Structure 1
Amino acid sequence: MHIAKFSVKNPVLVNLVLVSVLVLGTISLIDLPRDLTPNINFHWLIVVTTYSGVNPEEIEKLITIPLEDAINNVDNIKMVTSSSTEGVSQISVQFENMSDEKYDKLFQDLKSEVEKIDNLPEDIEGPEYVELTTDFMLPMIFVIISGTLPEREMKEIAEDLQRDILDIKHIARAELGGVRERQVRVEVDPERLSSYGLALNQVVNSIAMKNLNIPGGTMNVGRSEYILRTIGEVDRIEELSNVIIRQSVSGGRVAVKDVAAVLDTLEDAQTLGRLNGKTAITLIIS
């Protein structure tokens, strides 16, 4: 009530104070620094090491795992993921929420731990440290699938998730990383091949002829038209093993299984993903 009475008795002074506040507020607003996309540090960094010409398995063994072991000695790390591709090791390190000052100290601790490693190859380039800020960010979401399931089962889960995500409106891409496609290998035994008097190209040609899918034109029946195809594609490993390479007049046969082992496996890894030391598949969404 005292403020109200004072305001009624001194209207000129109150109006002057009000105008002063408005003027000072306007000046402060004009001078206030602002940015449409301010640079924000997410306390997240990537450790990149290059070792040219080395396959993913060796990159993981020689570089990625030793670096991960050293990085895990640093406090307040929320998550560590890694990717080992041909010639390149990338380790993503995400810290817990904290002040910038504490993050800077832990960043230096991480560098110190990495510098203690004495068994990295001498001719590598790096490690280099890339801090993730809004300057580097693209409209992307990274989904990481990790666990102790067999690789084929994890791949099936990742592919199902990929299909579901691509059905969502406004999703342009959903790419998988760290997955290996199915590969059927025919490992020929040179000694057994020679004992049958066969050459390697005979095995290759026999398999190629059996694994054909040839258009056969069309056939018209009344008003209907049917597309004809000669399908000889092999669906099962057993079928491939039983492909005949040579058959004699007397009825003797030599099949693929007689000179080779047919393996249902996965292709050689181009990228190896890990999350906290476990195998991982990455789904990149944009």
Structure 2
Amino acid sequence: MNLSRLFILRPVATTLCMIAIVLSGIIAYRLLPVSALPQVDYPTIRVMTLYPGASPDVMTSAVTAPLERQFGQMPGLTQMASTSSGGASVLTLRFNLDMNMDVAEQQVQAAINAASNLLPNDLPAPPVYNKVNPADTPVLTLAITSKTMLLPKLNNLVDTRMAQKIAQISGVGMVSIAGGQRQAVRIKVNPEALAANGLNLSDVRSLVGASNVNQPKGNFDGPTRVSMLDANDQLKTPQEYAELILAYNNGAPLRLKDVAEIVDGAENERLAAWANENQAVLLNIQRQPGANVIEVVDRIKALLPSITDNL
């Protein structure tokens, strides 16, 4: 039997069959997901530890190595990679594909708790971890530049105004900032002036640490009223740091501005990004799993004019 004979003898049925196939193809085309990589949810967790001022060797021996020993005992771990740099340690943990992500996060948290006694006591914050997917590359990268605003202030503006608005868009999974410099007060001490007054850098560090704390102040208990004391000890401007009293010489106060230059600068001056020839702050935008890339990018572009007007 010739297969084409059936379609030749029944032209109406053949026409209807072809129309049905074309309509099915049009409907299926509109439902196709747009993605450069297949939808594979890799159980991957990244652990980051910050230790400002530590060299890569210190980070390796004091932070990365203790964490690696604890993470290496977790069941289901297939791959572990670590990077130790100045002031930062990053460990990437990849588990089996059949590993439940909630179970993996519990194991990582338990390992961090077990390694806490082996880590330096003066860590500013404990190690933090977050779930990452190597297949989720940024769907859009925005470069923000300014000809009138310093980069630390621009970074603060992007972090508080732009990143939060974009993160609220449907389909956006994570918004991360790259190349931005966080605002900080930098104290440039003159060693000769310190030595002339019988002081050293440890005295300056102790003064700054003791003068920039935020602790409860207590309260006054009266017969009919209780008054809570509220005072902000946080120093935010160079002028506030400059007036700190470092010591007394013959009854006269020696202020920090007498032995150091206090300026408003960046937390890390060696961190930067460029858009063409202009220094910029980059916003890397990742989509949620399963979200259509083109629809997410279109929503972001539609919101950008209103964000720009608000700036």
TM-score normalised to structure 2 length: 0.46
TM-score normalised to structure 1 length: 0.49
Structure in which a larger fraction of residues adopt strand: 1
Higher-Rg member (1/2): 1
Greater relative contact order structure (CA < 8 Å, 6+ sep): 1
